[in-house]
Amino acid sequence: MNKKTHVLGVLFLGMSMVGFAQKSVQYFPVAFEGFRSVIDSTKVEQLDEVVITDSRFKLKRENSGKVITKITQIELQHLQGKSIAEILNATAGIEINGTKSNAAQTLSYYVRGGRNRQVLVLIDGVALTDASQIANDYDLRLLNADQVESIEILKGASSSLYGSGAATAVINIKLKEASKNVIAANFKSVIGSNQSQNNQGYAIEDFRNSVSVNGTLHNFSYLASFGNQYTSGLSSLKSIETDKDAFNSINGNLKLGYRVSEQFKMTLYGSFDDFKADFDDLYSGLELKDVTKTNQYRVGIAPEFSYKNGSINLNAAYNNTKRDAVSSSYPAIYKAESMIADVFNRYQFNEDFYTVLGLNVQKNNMESLAIPYGSTNLQQSINPDISKFTSTDPYVNVVYISNFGLNINAGARLNNHSEYGSHTVYSLNPSYKKHLGFGYLKGLATYSTAYITPSLYQLFEPTYGNIDLKPEENETVELGAELNITQKATFSVVYFNRKETQFIDFVDLGNFVYKYQNVADSFTASGVEFSADYSLLNNLKIKGNATYTHVEEDLRLRIPELKVNATLLYELSEATFLSVSYQFNDDRSDAVYNASTFQNDIVNLKSYSLFDFYISQKIIHNKVTLFANITNILNEEFEELNGYSTRGRNVNIGLHINL
C-alpha cells in the first residue's frame, strides 16, 4: 500500500469514527451558560459565526455564499509559537512553501494551484502589495503573529471586490484592537530549538518576544506593540549542516482612535517591520554569508461615518519598502512606494438587501540598483519615474438574503489602469440554505473573473522585463455544499476549476536570453477541498481538511496533489489544553538548474507526514499561561525545496502574561 492510499485510509477512518460518535452520543441542544472551555467557546461561535470578507458586511456564516475559513483569537491562542505563514499553511487549499525550512526562507504561496501574484493580503481592510517584488506580493515574514486578532481566508477569484491580484485567495488579517480598560498590557516570550533532522542537540537557537500596552480613556483609544525574533542554528542549504544562517526581525505597531461622536470615529496607525536574513548560494553549494535586509513602514488613516442604515468608510495608507542584498554575490537594492485609498459606502436597505459602492485608487512605483557587467558600483537599473502605474477602480457589490433560503452575492469592478486602459471583472455567487431540525444545509455556486496586471519588475527590469506584456486573466467556477449541526459540527466540500489565460512566465528564448512573456496556451487548475469541524464531547474536538489539486504539468512545481491536515483538541481541565496535529504532503516536483546542460532538470520531492504536539497551562486564570510545542515529533526527514534544509524535531516553550 502506498503512502497516499494509507493517508486516505486514515482520513476516511477518522471520518467514520466521527460518524459513529455522532450516532452513539444522543444529541441535545445545549444552553450557552456553563460553557467555560475553549472548545465550548468555539461551539458558540459556530452558531452565530460572522464573516465579512466576501461582502464587507457582517453576515452570518449560514448566509454567506462562500466557504470561508475563519481563524479566531481563541484559535490563535492555541497556536502560540507559530508564524502567520505556518498557521495559514494548515488551511484547506493552501500550501505555503518555506514554512518548515530555515526561518529566512523565501515564502511561496500556492493556493488552488496558483502563485504568489494571485494571492492578495489585506491588513485591517487595506490591500498590501510590494511593488519591489517580482510577483508584487506581500511578504508574510514581515508580520508578527502576536499583533493579529483574527484571520479570514476567502478562496476563489475576488477581483470584483478587491481588485488586481485577488485571483485565488484573499487573506484578510485583522490586527488587535485596544482594550476597553484604561490601561492593559500583554507580554509574551518564547525560546526553543531550531535544528535539522540530523542535528538533535536541542540548543536554544530561537528567541521570540512581544509586548503591547493598550487601553481606552473616554473617547480615546491607543495600542502600541513591539516584537522581535532571532532564530539561528539551521543552515539554509542542506549540504552545509555546520553553517548557521540567522533570521532577525523587529516589528512595531501604533494605533490611535478617537470617537468624535456617535456617528463619527477616526483611526490613525503606523507600523514598521524589518528583518535581516542570512542565505547561501544553491548553485555553487558554497557558504557565502550573503545577507538580505528588508525594511517596511506604513502609515494610514481609517475614518468612518455612520448614519441610519449605513456607513461611509475610508481606508488610506502609504507603504514604503526597501530590500537590500548586502554582501551578496549579486548585490542589489529594490525600493518601492505604494499609496492606496479605498472609499466605500455600505448601505442596508432592509434585512434582505445590502449594497457596497466604492472607489479604489492606487499609485505604485519602484526603483532598483544593481552592478552592471564590468563595473564594481551599484547603478540605477529601474528608474522610478518610468516604472510606475496608477489605477482607479469604481466597484459595486450587492447581497440579497431572501426569507425562503435563496441568497445572492454579486459584484462588478471597472479597472482603469494607466498602462492597460479599462477592464471589467465581475462575480456571481448564488447559494441556497435549508434549515433542518438540527442545523442547516447550504448549497453554493460561484462564477468569478480576475485580472492580474504585470508587476513593475516584469515590465521594466532592463534584462528580463517586457513592456509588451499583457495582463493575466482568470475565470473560476466553484460548486459546493456545507452542512452545519448546531453546536456540534460543520462539514463542507467545494469543487473548484480555474482557467488562466495570457499566463506570464519566465521564458528561455535561447542563447542565454530570458524574458517574461505571455504564454499562448491557457492552463487549468481544478480540485476538491473538504473540511470538517466536529465536537466529539464537551471537551474534545477534531478538525480536519483535505485538498486534492490537479494542475497541468507546466504549473505543477512544488504543489502537492493531495494535502491533509488534522488536529485533535482536548481540554484536560479548565486550566490545561492539549492538541495533536498531523499534516501530510504528497509527492511534488521541483526544478533544479543543471550547469552542464544550462537547463532545468525536474526532480521529485517525496511525500512526508508530520506530527506536532501543543500544551498550555493557565497558572493564573486569564493572567499567566505557560505553553510548549513539539514539532515534527517523529523527526521525519523531508524537503520543501530541493537542496534546502528543513526542520527536524524541535521544542519551544513560552510564557504569556496579560495584565
Share of the chain above pLDDT 90, in %: 71
Domain 3-658 -> CATH class = mainly beta
85: amino acid identity, one letter: A
The total number of residues shown for the chain amounts to 659
pLDDT exceeds 50 at position 31: no
Residues 168 and 111 sit within 8 Å (Cβ to Cβ): yes
Residue 11's pLDDT is 46
pLDDT for residue 511: 81
* Cα(178)–Cα(161) distance, integer angstroms: 28
Q: What pLDDT does residue 104 have?
A: 87
For residue 37, is pLDDT > 80? no
Percent of the chain with pLDDT over 70: 91
pLDDT tens readout for residues 386-416: 999 999 999 999 999 999 999 999 999 999 9
What is the spatial distance between Cα 659 and Cα 648, in angstroms, rounded to a whole number? 35
Mean pLDDT of all residues in 565-585: 96
Average the pLDDT over 524-547 and give the result.
95
pLDDT band at 428 (very low <50, low <70, confident <90, very high): very high
At position 617, the amino acid (one-letter code) is: Q
Beta pairing class for 286-301 and 310-326: antiparallel
Widest pairwise Cα distance in the chain:
78
> What confidence score (pLDDT) does residue 4 get?
55
- Give me the mean pLDDT over the 92-117 stretch: 92
User: Is the model more confident about 525 or about 374?
Assistant: 525
* H or E element at residue 45: helix 38-48
Q: What is the pTM of this model?
A: 0.90
Distance from C-alpha of 117 to C-alpha of 104, rounded to nearest angstrom: 20
Grid cell 486514515 is found at 10
Cα 86 to Cα 594: distance, rounded to the nearest angstrom: 31
CA dihedral 591, 594, 599, 600 (to 10 degrees): 0
pLDDT tier for residue 25 given thresholds of 50, 70 and 90? very low
The confidence score (pLDDT) of residue 20 equals 38
Res. 164: pLDDT tops 60: yes
DSSP state of 465: -
Average pLDDT, the chain: 88
Residue 281, pLDDT > 60, answer yes
Q: What is the mean pLDDT of residues 535-564?
A: 92
Which uninterrupted H or E stretch holds 4?
A: helix 3-24
Predicted pLDDT of residue 149: 94
Name the band, by pLDDT with cuts 50, 70 and 90, for residue 639.
very high
**Which amino acid, 154?**
L
Q: State mean pLDDT over 124-128.
A: 89
Give residue 83's region: left, alpha or beta (phi > 0; psi -120 to 50): beta
> CB under 8 Å to 137, separation ≥6 — which residues?
109, 116, 117, 119, 121, 129, 130, 165
Report the pLDDT value the prediction gives residue 521, as an integer from 0 to 100: 86
pLDDT attached to residue 600? 78
Q: Specify whether the CB–CB gap between 587 and 604 falls below 8 A.
A: yes
Q: Which pLDDT does position 239 carry in this prediction?
A: 80
CB burial of 179-193 (b: ≥16 within 10 Å; e: otherwise) equals beeeebebbbebbbb
Residue 545 has pLDDT above 90, yes or no: yes
Q: Residue 67 and residue 117: Cα distance in Å, rounded?
A: 22
pLDDT exceeds 90 at position 183: yes
Q: Looking at residues 165-189, what average pLDDT do you find? A: 94
